[in-house]
Amino acid sequence: MLLVVSPAKKLDYETALPTERHTQPLFLDDAMELIEQLKPMEPHQVSNLMGISDKLGQLNAQRYQDWQLPFTPANARQAVLAFKGDVYEGMEAYDFAEKDLDFAQDHLRILSGLYGALRPLDLMQPYRLEMGTRFENRRGKDLYAFWGDRITDHLNELLGADDGVLMNLASNEYFKSVNKRRLQGRMITPQFRDWRNGRFKMISFYAKKARGMMASYIIRNRITDLEKAKHFDMDGYAYNADLSEGDNWVFTRGD
């Protein structure tokens, strides 16, 4: 089983690391091509491109200037430990044992506007470049055009070497970078809903955190049998057979 998740806007390059193990990103040449186009941008241009504040525009323009090869533990951090957001709060990767990291390295990919697809232990330097950004580049009008089928081909290679099951725990923005028509495997798309005002409703903050918890549950329990993933029961969620249909799994909480 292969899991895909989204990255996070918030980053953590301060907390003490629980492991020294690291690998190099697989798409560094592609990332460098994007960085070469981003480096000449002034802070206000970065702000306008991404719709962010002047302060964040300044921060990220400087990040592009500072971005350099080679990636080392001195200037970069493992991706699953660098991202800090709702998904990663749910995942709690800082508490992973070494064997958890081994499993995650083989079964988890983080989709990224800059890095394409990251393994958990891949080093990355800080950045902000959301997949949905309409950044015109040498390959096309936006980042979806830039990545083309590269991410899909990478996932297909992994699916072919495994059981052919992809669990999509990424947001719509990031999963659009995957060409579903060319995806060579079965795709499971879990939804997480909470009881509110007399019905089950997806609440963004809770759903994001639950995606991270689902990834963590599969990693910590070394789940390779798809049906066992339905036993996910963290933080009060449970598989809801009545609301689920085919490969669109629904987990509910409350009521």
Whether 78 contacts 108, CB under 8 Å: no
Q: What is the pLDDT of residue 255?
A: 77
Place of tokens 């083989």: 106
Helices (H) and strands (E) in the chain, counts: 10, 11
The pLDDT value given to residue 60:
98
Helix (H, G, I), strand (E, B) or coil at 154: helix
Coil, strand or helix: which one is 186?
strand
Whether this prediction's pTM lies above 0.95 is answered by: yes
Spatial contact of 93 and 78, defined as CB atoms under 8 Å apart: no
Query: Where do the structural domains in the chain lie, given as residue ranges?
Result: 2-13+20-25+77-253
**What pLDDT, on a 0 to 100 scale, did the predictor assign at position 55?**
98
pLDDT tens sequence for the chain (255 residues): 999 999 999 999 999 999 999 999 999 999 999 999 999 999 999 999 999 999 999 999 999 999 999 999 999 999 999 999 999 999 999 999 999 999 999 999 999 999 999 999 999 999 999 999 999 999 999 999 999 999 999 999 999 999 999 999 999 999 999 999 999 999 999 999 999 999 999 999 999 999 999 999 999 999 999 999 999 999 999 999 999 999 999 999 997
